[in-house]
Every structure is written in C-alpha cells, then in structure tokens.
Structure 1
Amino acid sequence: MTNPLILSDAQQVIGRRWSEGQPPERARILILARDALDFISVTGQWYPFVDFRGNRASSGSSPAGTAHGLQESLSEAERFFEELRDEPEAAGEQPAIQVILDAFRFISSTRQHAAFGDFLEHVESNAPPFVMASFETKSEAEAWLKSHPNPPTFAEILIGNRSHDVVYERETDFRRLPWNRHLERHLAWLKREESPVAEASFATREEAEAWLARQPRPARWTWVLIAGEFYLAAYYPNINHRALYPLSMAASEEEEADG
C-alpha cells in the first residue's frame, strides 16, 4: 500500500496556509481542498486514487469541459495550488501540494462532481460521519466485505447503530471491520453545538421509525423525542438509509471530556 500519510501531509499544507482574517475567497479554496482530500478517504477511493496518480495524474490538468458550479470551483482551486507549488517558499512542500492537485483532477476526471457536491452538503450540515453502507448484523457486514472485489478502503459503514472502519490491504487481501467511536464523539459534539430541540415526539421507537420512513427526503439530521429521551434522526442520501441514534450513546464521550 502506498503510504496513506500522503493525505495527512497534504492536509498539513492546507493548515499552514489557514489564517484568521484571510480573504473569503482564499478560505473557500482551502476548505474545498480539505474536503476533496476527505472525500477520497471517506468514500473509500484510496486505491483508485493511487492508481490514478500512477497512471494519469501527472499528465496535466483536468479534462476540458464547460466550467460551471462545482467544476468551476475545482478549476479555480487547482490554479491556486499550481501557483503555490511554484512559489520559492513552498520548497519541500511540492509533493504534498501535488497530492492536492491530483485530488482535484481525480474528482474531475472520474466525473464525480455530483457525488462530491453531496459530500460537501453532508459536511456543511454537521451530519453524522459519512458512511458507504449499512448492515443490521456483523455477519451480514463480514459477508459483504469478504465478497467485495474492491472494498472501500478507509471508509466507514454502519452495523446496527455502531460505526465501523473498512480496513483493506490490496497487496495481502487483509480485510477487517473494527469498531470506532466516531458516531459517539459526533453525538457528544453535536449536543454541545446544537442544544437538542425536538422536531417531533413519539411514544415508542416503532412510531418514530415509521415517521422517519414516511419522509421522502428527510433532513440529514434532526432531534426527536422517543419516550422522553432525545434521539438523533439521521438520513444518509448516498445509500438511502435512515437511522435513529439515542443521545445516551454520547455519555461515555462526555464523561471522558469532563474528566
């Protein structure tokens, strides 16, 4: 596996360019670069990105086409980082800057503007961690992973109401689904940032699930009350999945923060 820390190194280039009071246009470009790198990681496209860099990324700019909307923003950000790469003060950072440029070109070359736009909306809405699949049981998830020809490396999936990482190494065919605490941490953070106010109240979880299932396109997240307890009602449009997470899941993260 090519060193996945190249994505981290590229994020550090972005962080070093961030400053309070910077022009809004510069902030927008840096945020777009950050999210482009995250998009490749959370959608499990590490190996396709590695292959793209090896076979095509060094050949030049993104494919020509009508520049509008997100595609225009990507082209503008690409020009910014091309100029940055050539500045004398960027000496030593060129490989990491090239990763950012390759991320823009990968998204454009694979025509993923719509998927990337959906991911940006997900991030901007403070929705729960992005996931690529959902399963009721661990055995179902393991069967999916075992039979998948190219598992989404570094992506997250849901098993029940728990978030798991997809660990896959192409060279050895190593596959695992370790549990993580990203969802619990997000709930704890969201409780601090968005004090729970229920959009709807239900006597039972079954009533809440029926209400959520009836929504043709729910909000990415909202608070509801079920038998007096707050839940986060979440919607993942990329996999058309709806979920209810009890706020009590965040208790261990809150205790750790207080300690």
Structure 2
Amino acid sequence: MTILDTLNEAQRIVGHYWKEDQSPEQARILGCARDALSFISSTGQPYRFEDYRKRLQAENPSRESSPSGTYQAPDVHEPSRDLAETTGELVHRAEGFFERSRDELRSAPERALALVIIDALRFIDSTGQFDDFKRYLQELDSNEPPRVVASFDTREQAEAWLKNHPSPPHCASILIAGRYHTVAYDRETNGRYLPPSRDLEYYLVSLKQDSPPTATASFDTRQDAEAWLNAQSAPPRRAWVLISGELYLAVYQPNVNHRALYPLSMADGFEINTEVEPESA
C-alpha cells in the first residue's frame, strides 16, 4: 500500500466515528482529523510524512501494537499563543480523541489506520505547520478554489521547475497558463509528470450546485474584467462576474499571486447526477 493509499484509507476511520447526531465538538474534532489527512496530500507532503512515520517506527518498533496512552509523543513545535488557543488546541484535542478511541476499534488494521491519523496530527505539530494548516482550514471553510503550490505561464517553465526540484510536491496542484495540473512524482524511479487535473471543473460544479451564482459586477469585455481584477490590491478570493452576459468566476490565489477569470461553462459535462431514478414496475 502506498502512502497515498494509507492516507485515503485512514479517512475511513474518521467516517467510522462520524454520526449524524454527534456533538458540535466531536464534529470539529473529526473534521480536523479528516482535514489533516487531506492537508498532507494537498500540500505535496506524502513522502515527507512517510519518512516521518518511518522515523517514529524506528524509534519505537512496537508502537502500532502498544495500547493507547503508552506511546510517548515526540517533541513538538511550540505554537504561537493565538494558534495554541485555536488551531493548535483543536489538533491536540483531535489527537487525544483518537489516542483514547484507538483500542475500541475491532481489528489491528483499523487500529493501525487510527495511528496514521494520530501521526498526521503530530506531523503538522512537530513540523511547525500550524499557520499553514490554519490557512488551509480557512480555505475549506470559505470554499475557496482548490489550493495550488505554484503557478507558471508556460508548460516549459513548469517542466523546468519540476526537473530541477530536489523533492517535488507529489500530489499537489500547480497552475500552467491558468489551468490545473497535478504534480506526480515517483521517488523510487525519479519519474516526474504533470498530468492535467479537473479539480477546477468539479469545483465550479460544486459552486453551481450549492447556490445559484449571482454576479457582483458586470463588464462588456473580458479585457474590462481583467483590468478590474488586476487593479484591486486585495481582490476577493472568489467572486462571480458577468462578461458579455456570461458568468465567470473571478479568482485570486494570494500564495502564488494569481488572478484569473474562469467561465462557468467550464463545468458543462462535469455535473454529477444525484437524483435517484424511480424503479421500473
């Protein structure tokens, strides 16, 4: 099982504890665990996390079979005071929840996956990533566009960056001429690829299905809309605009200083039919 498979499988343990009538506190704790696992993938850190787990295993070979509470956590990064009262404390509460709950799981594989969740939370802590994880949670809460780690005008620039990168961010997204691509890196073979991604199309579908888009500005031409977007010192992360009567999503991704206009029509053909067809008589 690859490290990505392991991260995805660990989400199943989060689902095991998720209940419709759960308390808001438990929802926050489980949501934190779910998002910690996805954060590692979205930021291109699966291999770094894998190495972190190998180091923990080397330090304590019996830790997977140890009862909860007997495993000594490694030294952790000291968060700032504000984060310790918010993101940091939430991470620690989630860690404690899965430490206490791990023995309740019926099988050894499930307990091992619960340990993956604990390790993911401790990884964020020990590597000093509370700030970035906090921003990631805010992006999810605000339903911002899918995160990217870099942006390039041309494929040649992107491929040169990938070729020279000492440790490419496997599974992270990048932009090439405004279009999403996934960084695919196999460190055993040193294979490096940039396949196109449909994350943006599915994101537009989700926005369209969540609520009818309402334009906040209208322009006669795309050039006028681009001038408006580029003139703003701090544009909204996302906003609907009309260009010649067609809906576009105006996007600003500050971590890569990228501004773009995406037509809603890009979502055409990517809708997921959630209606249940009636059974035939």
Please give the TM-score of this superposition, normalised by the length of structure 1: 0.92
Structure 1 residue identity aligned to 2:73: G
Q: Relative to structure 1, is the Cα distance of residues 90 and 80 closer, same or farther in structure 2, using a 3 angstrom cutoff?
A: farther
Deviation, 1:64, is 6.6
Aligned-partner Cα distance in 2 for 1:25–1:220: 28
Deviations 1:216-247 (A, max 9, x none): 22222110111211110112122222111111
Which residue of 2 is the match for residue 102 of structure 1?
Answer: 119
Deviation, 1:145, is 0.9
Which residue of 2 is the match for residue 241 of structure 1?
Answer: 258
Choose the corresponding residue for 2:190, options 150, 154, 173: 173
Structure 2 residue identity aligned to 1:44: G
Q: Relative to structure 1, is the Cα distance of residues 252 and 150 closer, same or farther in structure 2, using a 3 angstrom cutoff?
A: same
Q: Relative to structure 1, is the Cα distance of residues 63 and 9 closer, same or farther in structure 2, using a 3 angstrom cutoff?
A: same
Q: Relative to structure 1, is the Cα distance of residues 136 and 12 closer, same or farther in structure 2, using a 3 angstrom cutoff?
A: same
| Structure whose residues are more often helix by fraction | 1
Deviation, 1:62, is 5.4
User: Which runs of 4 or more aligned residues in structure 1 lie more than 3 Å from their structure 2 counterparts after TM superposition?
Assistant: 56-59, 64-67, 88-92, 256-259
Which residue of 1 is the match for residue 49 of structure 2?
Answer: 49
Deviation, 1:204, is 1.7
Which residue of 2 is the match for residue 200 of structure 1?
Answer: 217
Q: Relative to structure 1, is the Cα distance of residues 63 and 193 closer, same or farther in structure 2, using a 3 angstrom cutoff?
A: same
Which residue of 1 is the match for residue 279 of structure 2?
Answer: none
Query: Do 1:33 and 1:77's aligned partners in 2 also have CA atoms closer than 8 Å?
Result: yes
**Gapped regions of structure 2 (runs ≥ 5):** 61-71, 276-281
Deviation, 1:91, is 4.7
Aligned-partner Cα distance in 2 for 1:223–1:73: 33
Please give the TM-score of this superposition, normalised by the length of structure 2: 0.85
Equivalent runs, 1:31-50 vs 2, <5 Å: 31-50=31-50
Aligned-partner Cα distance in 2 for 1:247–1:79: 43
Q: Relative to structure 1, is the Cα distance of residues 165 and 45 closer, same or farther in structure 2, using a 3 angstrom cutoff?
A: same
Instruction: Tell me the C-alpha RMSD between the 2 structures.
Output: 2.1
Q: Relative to structure 1, is the Cα distance of residues 15 and 55 closer, same or farther in structure 2, using a 3 angstrom cutoff?
A: same
More displaced stretch, 73-82 vs 237-246: 237-246
Which residue of 1 is the match for residue 205 of structure 2?
Answer: 188
Choose the corresponding residue for 1:75, options 89, 92, 98: 92
Structure 2 residue identity aligned to 1:214: A
Query: Do 1:220 and 1:235's aligned partners in 2 also have CA atoms closer than 8 Å?
Result: yes
Report sequence identity in percent.
51
More displaced stretch, 223-232 vs 132-141: 132-141
Aligned-partner Cα distance in 2 for 1:108–1:215: 35
Query: Do 2:4 and 2:41's aligned partners in 1 also have CA atoms closer than 8 Å?
Result: no
**Gapped regions of structure 1 (runs ≥ 5):** none
Which residue of 2 is the match for residue 13 of structure 1?
Answer: 13
Which residue of 2 is the match for residue 250 of structure 1?
Answer: 267
Equivalent runs, 1:20-169 vs 2, <5 Å: 20-56=20-56, 60-61=73-74, 63=76, 65=78, 67-87=84-104, 89=106, 91-169=108-186
More displaced stretch, 207-216 vs 3-12: 207-216
Which residue of 1 is the match for residue 64 of structure 2?
Answer: none
Q: Relative to structure 1, is the Cα distance of residues 62 and 193 closer, same or farther in structure 2, using a 3 angstrom cutoff?
A: farther
SS of 1:201's partner is strand
Structure 2 residue identity aligned to 1:51: D
Aligned-partner Cα distance in 2 for 1:114–1:215: 26
Q: Give 1 or 2 for the bigger CA radius of gyration.
A: 2
Query: Do 1:6 and 1:96's aligned partners in 2 also have CA atoms closer than 8 Å?
Result: yes
Deviation, 1:160, is 1.9
More displaced stretch, 75-84 vs 127-136: 127-136
